[in-house]
Amino acid sequence: MDLRQLRALIAVAETHSFSAAARSLHTVQSNISTHVARLERELEAELFDRRSGELTPEGEAVVERGRRILGELDAIDADVAAMRDDVRGVVRAGIIGTTARWLLPYVLDALKDDYPNVHLVVVDATTASLAPRLVAGDIDVAVIQLPLDNPDIDTGPLFEEERLLVCPPGHPLSGTEVITLDELANHPILMAPPGNSFRDAIDAEAADAGIELQAQAEIDGMRLLASMAFQGFGAALVPASATPGWFAGEHHRVRVEGLSRRQVGLALPRRTTPSAPTRIFETVLHEVLTTRVPDQPGLTLTLS
């Protein structure tokens, strides 16, 4: 087995065809076919179903471990460079969208000033989407909503934020400062759909209080949910970071008594050692949060 075989199979898995894999690796299709066929002979297993264009279960297992191997090889170069006080390399970070919008500019500025040779690639996605990508090795680190129950991922706290109701001008609750869950149940609101971790936490706390909230509409995506409120479609229940002061404008933010704060944390794959660029990202992230969270309404630092 050699690295060319692993890279070929991973490219096929990502592009779903041998021809597209060849283009992505800047080679010819016959080379991709040869590498995959040799790997299959060596492992005595079919790794790619030529009829469906999908990996077999054996192929999925090889790709998952192959990504980790290639990631570790990339980390070797970065770690050796770091020992020469020359931290360089790529860090692929997943960040939930509401957090990325206010936090990412500060992180990028800090990296540019202090670690110009560290290249940050950002994936904007939900916690549910980022977790499997972290385990698979598609990303190196993730800023996610906690708690996350996954035996292959280690997590730590970063900050917590209030769950707020954002009301457009003219809404019946737009002049309210604080509302209880019981009072909120009398008003239809824009919410994330069931199955979304933010919504599920709210539903659980409401159920514990014997309350069922009314969904005017269910929208998957916190930024879109907040945008619908900003455009006047209704009041939306969102995390505080989805309603920065410069964006909320005339829209009113209402505190909701009876709801716990959303926990946001850092996630790393348990089975691999973070590379030097990943460790730098974590350090910069902590420094930025320590400086900037106190200025964000509704957010509280929880770094350990």
What SS3 state is found at 19?
A: helix
pLDDT at residue 293, rounded to an integer? 93
Q: Which fold has domain 3-69?
A: Arc Repressor Mutant, subunit A (1.10.10)
pTM over 0.75? The answer is no
Q: Quick: pLDDT tens for 183-203.
A: 999 999 999 999 888 999 999
pLDDT at residue 193, rounded to an integer? 93
pLDDT at residue 6, rounded to an integer? 83
Q: How confident is the model at residue 78 (pLDDT cuts 50, 70, 90)?
A: low
Using a 10 angstrom Cβ sphere, with 0-12 exposed, 13-18 middle and 19 or more buried, the burial of residue 179 is buried
Peptide bond into 147 cis (omega under 30): yes
pLDDT at residue 286, rounded to an integer? 96
What is the average per-residue pLDDT within 70-86?
65
DSSP 267: E
3-69 and 87-160+263-301 share one fold: no
What SS3 state is found at 170?
A: coil
Selected from 3.20.20.110, 3.40.50.720, 3.30.420.40, 3.40.190.10, the CATH number assigned to the domain covering 163-260 reads 3.40.190.10
Q: Quick: pLDDT tens for 232-253.
A: 899 999 999 887 654 455 678 8
Domain ranges of the chain: 3-69, 87-160+263-301, 163-260
Using a 10 angstrom Cβ sphere, with 0-12 exposed, 13-18 middle and 19 or more buried, the burial of residue 287 is middle
Identify the architecture of domain 87-160+263-301 in CATH. Answer: 3-Layer(aba) Sandwich (3.40)
Q: Quick: pLDDT tens for 168-181.
A: 888 899 888 999 99
Q: How far apart are CA 230 and CA 243, in angstroms?
A: 9
What does pLDDT average to over the chain? Answer: 87
